[in-house]
Structure 1
Amino acid sequence: MSALLADVERRIRSVHQLDAVVNAMRGIAGARAQQSRQILPAIRAYAETAGLAIAQARRIHGDVPGLTDPRGAPRQPVLILFGAEQGFAGAYPERVLDAATGNFADAQVFLVGARSVALAGERGLAIAWQASLPSRVAALPDLATLILDALYDYLADAGAIPVRMVFPLWTPGQGLKIIRRPLLPLDAEAFPASESGSVPLTNFPAAHLLARLVQEYVFAQICEAAAEAFAAENEARMATMAAAKTHIDGKLAALQLEERLTRQSEITAEVVELAAGARFRTREG
């Protein structure tokens, strides 16, 4: 075997190894995206239940906590931004960060996603708080609890300032979309006091009960955003790996053609050499 043919075969083996890695990453991303989609209906049902409970609780305490800042002074709002945790997702991390870059100057940014945190650092963007997006769907509620605790600790010092969320949403067939959603203060009109049925019996002071229900509702909203971000990153990675797979298939086809042509060239060279040797021996005879 010639050195040229050996080099082509070595390159083919390398491409096959890369193909196996890409297929594995695509499969893992697909499984994670599916798992995230499966928990979204439960999260939304939980948020709806919390919202109905708020409406019921307003029958005994009309005000929704956090609608106004008793200090009266305007303060920087909080922006909870769900970004990317890892690479290998094409331009997805940059697109998510680009969508909220203009908010970094006038908001306290809570940034989720190690890759987005690194990109923000490279761009010189200030972050008030950061966390990693977990690699398992089961850990998303823990992340939501971590964000909620950090948020309420911050609000305890800053007062009832506006809180917004920005998170990615991946729609099949349409790709990436950036969602902006107000989180706090809650819109009281979205939870009209229920007038049906009897007034609920409670063991908590009405104001305390309503505050706890608002926390549950906010927790559900954060969970939903985290699950959507988790799914979107893995969908983006699947799309990137699909494009890489197409490129690899094309490269492999080109190398296999080169291998066949190299073999044919070597066989032709050997035949010519044998024929020349036979003619030489004939003349010598």
Structure 2
Amino acid sequence: MSGKLGEIEARIGATHQLEAVVGAMRGIAAARSHDAHARLAGIRACAAAAGAAIGDVLAFSPSGAPTGTMKEDDERAEVRIVIGAEQGFVGGLNDRIAEAALRLPRGLPGHCLLVGTRLVSACAERGLVKAWSAPMAAHPAAVPHLASRVSDALYARLADGAHATRVTVTHALPGESRLRIAQRTLIPFDFARFHVTPRALPPLVNVPPVRLLARLVELYVSLELCEALMLAFAAENEARVRAMLAARTNVQARLASLSQQYRAMRQDEITAEIVELTTGRQAARRAMD
């Protein structure tokens, strides 16, 4: 076997190993995405319970909820929570989310809380200054803890005088053939979405209704953040599955090309050997004659 033929054979072996790595990464990403989707039901059930409790408090203490809407002149700052990917091989996911993070209302200063190491890098390349950042969760079970960290950072920033009248969360959505970016407003809190059922007797509570409502709202916002993080985690892994599928297609095309080169070169070597043997035999016969 010639040196060039051995080189092609080595490249085919390396490409097969790469195909195995791509397949393993695709399988891990698909499993993590499936796990994230399975946990969404529990998060939404908790949010539904918190929403029902908010509706109960509003039923016997409607004065505890602000009814006015925020006016344009009242806007002083926006805190934007932007959730991206922690690891690579997700296509243009982080670039799309970083571009969405730059679309702040004109004249409105922004305070960005960024989640995801790769997203932080993408935002830094675009000149977006972060106020706070954290790595994205490595697995779905870590998402609730990360949601608590983001909530603490948000409320700490509001308490430190950020003077924000709007808080939004921006993240990718899973379950789509193409990438979609969602933006949800957390503050001002929309009390109108909760069903209020009048009661003859108010429920028994141990804290003042206003304080209870504030705690329930804080809990509901944390659950909304938890859901957004879980959706972003699922979207990141689904993007990685799509990237690995594309990589597998490229690897298979590369394998087909290398195999064709190997067969052609091997055939050329066999042909050369036959010609050499035939020529040598004819020369030997002429020498004997």
The verdict on a shared fold, with TM-score over 0.5 as the criterion, is yes
Aligned with residue 267 of structure 1, among 259, 262, 270: 270
Larger displacement relative to structure 2 (201-210 or 272-281)? 201-210
Whether the aligned pair in 2 keeps the contact of 1:66 and 1:160 (CA below 8 Å) is: no
Displacement of 1:273 in angstroms is 0.5
1:87-106 maps to which residues of 2 (within 5 A)?
Answer: 87-103=88-104, 106=109
Whether the aligned pair in 1 keeps the contact of 2:60 and 2:199 (CA below 8 Å) is: no
Question: Separation in 2 of the partners of 1:40 and 1:276?
Answer: 75
1:5-44 maps to which residues of 2 (within 5 A)?
Answer: 5-44=5-44
Secondary structure of the structure 2 residue equivalent to 1:144:
helix
Displacement of 1:106 in angstroms is 2.8
Secondary structure of the structure 2 residue equivalent to 1:20:
helix
Question: Separation in 2 of the partners of 1:197 and 1:269?
Answer: 99
1:77-92 maps to which residues of 2 (within 5 A)?
Answer: 77-92=78-93
Residues 90-143 of structure 1: CA distance to partner in whole angstroms, max 9, x if unpaired? 111111211222229731111111001011112221111111111110000000
Question: Separation in 1 of the partners of 2:275 and 2:200?
Answer: 99
- Quote the residue 1:279 is aligned against: 282
Question: Separation in 2 of the partners of 1:64 and 1:165?
Answer: 22
Residue identity opposite 1:166 in structure 2: T
Q: Does 1:167 pair with 2:168?
A: no
Question: Separation in 2 of the partners of 1:55 and 1:125?
Answer: 39
Whether the aligned pair in 2 keeps the contact of 1:79 and 1:165 (CA below 8 Å) is: yes
Aligned with residue 110 of structure 1, among 113, 120, 124: 113
Displacement of 1:73 in angstroms is 6.2
Q: Does 1:53 pair with 2:56?
A: no
Structure-2-length-normalised TM-score: 0.92
- Quote the residue 2:155 is aligned against: 152
Residue identity opposite 1:51 in structure 2: G
Question: Separation in 2 of the partners of 1:252 and 1:44?
Answer: 46
Residues 40-74 of structure 1: CA distance to partner in whole angstroms, max 9, x if unpaired? 111111111111100101234322379789xx964
Relative distance call for 1:66 and 1:253 in structure 2 (3 A) is farther
Question: Structure 1 regions of 5+ residues with no counterpart?
Answer: none
Question: Separation in 2 of the partners of 1:32 and 1:145?
Answer: 21
Question: Structure 2 regions of 5+ residues with no counterpart?
Answer: none
Whether the aligned pair in 2 keeps the contact of 1:96 and 1:178 (CA below 8 Å) is: yes
Question: Separation in 1 of the partners of 2:52 and 2:242?
Answer: 38
Question: Separation in 2 of the partners of 1:114 and 1:130?
Answer: 8
Whether the aligned pair in 1 keeps the contact of 2:77 and 2:164 (CA below 8 Å) is: no
Question: Separation in 2 of the partners of 1:242 and 1:197?
Answer: 59
Q: Does 1:244 pair with 2:247?
A: yes
Question: Separation in 1 of the partners of 2:24 and 2:17?
Answer: 11
Q: Does 1:4 pair with 2:4?
A: yes
Residues 208-260 of structure 1: CA distance to partner in whole angstroms, max 9, x if unpaired? 11111111110110011000100001000100110010010011011111111
Structure-1-length-normalised TM-score: 0.93
Question: Separation in 2 of the partners of 1:102 and 1:237?
Answer: 25
Whether the aligned pair in 2 keeps the contact of 1:83 and 1:93 (CA below 8 Å) is: yes
Residue identity opposite 1:29 in structure 2: A
Secondary structure of the structure 1 residue equivalent to 2:138:
coil
Whether the aligned pair in 2 keeps the contact of 1:67 and 1:185 (CA below 8 Å) is: no
Question: Separation in 1 of the partners of 2:139 and 2:15?
Answer: 30
Residues 141-179 of structure 1: CA distance to partner in whole angstroms, max 9, x if unpaired? 00000011111111113356211111110224x322111
Residue identity opposite 1:204 in structure 2: V
- Quote the residue 1:208 is aligned against: 211
Secondary structure of the structure 1 residue equivalent to 2:174:
strand
Secondary structure of the structure 2 residue equivalent to 1:189:
helix
Whether the aligned pair in 1 keeps the contact of 2:52 and 2:195 (CA below 8 Å) is: no
Displacement of 1:206 in angstroms is 1.4
Q: Where do 4+ consecutive residues of structure 1 move more than 6 Å?
A: 65-69
How many residues are matched? 282
- Quote the residue 2:184 is aligned against: 181
